[in-house]
Each structure stands twice: as structure tokens, then as C-alpha cells.
Amino acid sequence: MRVAVVSDIHANLHALGAVLDDVAANEPDEIWCLGDVVGYGANPNECCEHIRERAGLVLAGNHDLGVLGKLDLAEFSDDAAAAARWTRTVLAGEHLPWLASLQPSSKRTTVELFHGSPRDPVWDYVLSDDVALESFALTSAPLVLVGHSHVALALGTGGRGVVGGLAPSGTELALGEHRLLLNPGSVGQPRDGNPDAAWLLVDFDTDRAVFRRVVYDVEGAQAAIRAAGLPDVLAERLARGL
Ligand code: ZN
């Protein structure tokens, strides 16, 4: 089975469209989404439609839960809270029960999946060796997938600490040599200094994983954010990938 892993779409339809084209060209058997379909961007309804229609597994992210009112927006930054409140006003009612049905973690035969981390699947970021080690200790699957940080990462453990780090475009690794913890990076708001939309292809037939980046219409996404009256920084940061 070949799986396209996407995460942190954040209502960026321009980025999601470009990623789904690249995904389709790679003909995966399934799409898995690690959460945050909405929040920050200007097209939450279209992004919910695409993911509901195509993804075989979808996790809830903290922004999805914030929009639903399941998390207190006081926990969010001012710009994120403003975007969550705006999203509530425009999100079509049909998407609410679907978002409300999602959980922040899940499991497949050889994979454990979390929006944040195994320590806290909603809020925790895996961005340090210590958190990665704890995350490996709290799981047993050969492969752990996380999102939330918007930074593409490939970490492994062979019993002597953590190896690996940032996973730039084209990074390819073998599954099965070590236990792995992978973050595909973000479709709709990358924060690793590369503005291109990120996704991850995991091929369980050949035991390979490949990190991919896709150029998309950043100016279109920025114009949509500004037209919606969302905070300008949410548009501006897309060009910097931060
Ligand atoms: Zn996110």
C-alpha cells in the first residue's frame, strides 16, 4: 500500500489543490491527514470538502477543535483566535459534525498517528530530541506520524538516542531499519523557511518514504486571506515559509 500523508492544510485551498495534483500523479492507495484542515486560511469549506471526499483517515488538530469550541480560544495566539472566530462564521454547517467526529490520534497496523505528539496529541510539538525520545518510548509501532509543528522532520531511533532532523524536499528514507518518527510538514502554512507546500509519500510495499514539496500560487492564497479580512500577518508569512 502507498499512502500520501498530508497535514496542517489550514484552509489554504491554493496549496491543497497543488498538493492534491502532485498526490494524484503519484497514484497512492490512500490519503491520510494529520489534522488542522481549517484555521488561518480563507477557504475552510473547500478544504473540508476535498479532505472529506479523498482522505481515508483524518485526525483532529488543535485549530479544528478551536473552531468547534472544544478548545478555549484563549489558549491560541491573537491571530489564530481571530482566524478561528472568522472560520466559525463561514464554515458550512455540514462540515461541523464531520470535524466534531475526528480524534487527534489514531492507529493502523504498523503506524501510530498523532496531530501533536504521543505525550499530548492536541498541543505538544515534537521539535527536540528529548520529546522525540519520549514519543518513541510512549509508542511501539515501527512508524510514528505527527503534524502540528509545520516543520518537515525525519527522526529515527536505533536504541542510542535520536538520529535525523529536518527533512528537505526529496529526502528519502528506508522504513524498517530504525523506528521512525516523521512529520510531513505543512500543506498550507510551512514554517521551515521553504514556502512550498509539503507532503509525504509512504510506500509500504517498497518500504520507502519520500518528502515532497510543491510550488503553489502563494499570491492567490494571500489575496484570499486579505479579501476575507483576516490578519495580514497570516498572508505575509506564507511568502516566507515561516
Ligand atoms: Zn497547524
* CATH of residue 102: 3.60.21.10
Q: How many beta carbons lie within 10 A of that of residue 206, not counting itself?
A: 9
Distance in Å, CA 9 to ligand 1 centroid:
7
> How many C-beta atoms lie closer than 10 Å to residue 127's C-beta?
14
Strand partners, 212: 199
pLDDT band at 117 (very low <50, low <70, confident <90, very high): very high
- Main-chain dihedrals φ then ψ at residue 162, nearest 5 degrees: -110, 135
What are 66-95's pLDDT values in tens digits? 999 999 999 999 999 999 999 999 998 899
Average pLDDT of the segment spanning 163-173: 95
**Distance between Cα 159 and ligand 1 center (Å):** 30
Q: Find the 162 Cα to ligand 1 centroid distance in Å.
A: 24
- CA 30 vs CA 3, 50, 70, 125: distances in Å: 5, 13, 28, 26
When pLDDT is averaged across residues 178-201 and rounded to a whole number, the result is 97
Span from the CA of 36 to the centroid of ligand 1 (angstroms): 5
Ligand 1 mean position, distance from CA 149 (Å):
7
Q: How many domains does the chain have?
A: 1
From CA 27, how far away is CA 117, in angstroms rounded?
A: 28
Ligand 1 mean position to 170 CA, how many Å?
Answer: 22
Mean pLDDT of 191-198: 97
Cα(61)–Cα(102) distance, integer angstroms = 9
Q: How confident is the model at residue 135 (pLDDT cuts 50, 70, 90)?
A: very high
CA of 160 to the centre of ligand 1 (A): 30
Residue numbers of the domain that contains 213: 2-239
Instruction: Tell whether the model's pLDDT for residue 51 goes beyond 80.
Output: yes
- Single out the residue of 147, 190, 152, 149 nearest to residue 170, CA to CA: 152
CA distance 14 to 238: 11
- 63 CA from centroid of ligand 1 (Å): 7
> What tens digit of pLDDT does each residue of 25-45 get?
999 999 999 999 999 999 999
Cell numbers that stand for 199 in this block: 507532503
CA of 64 to the centre of ligand 1 (A): 9
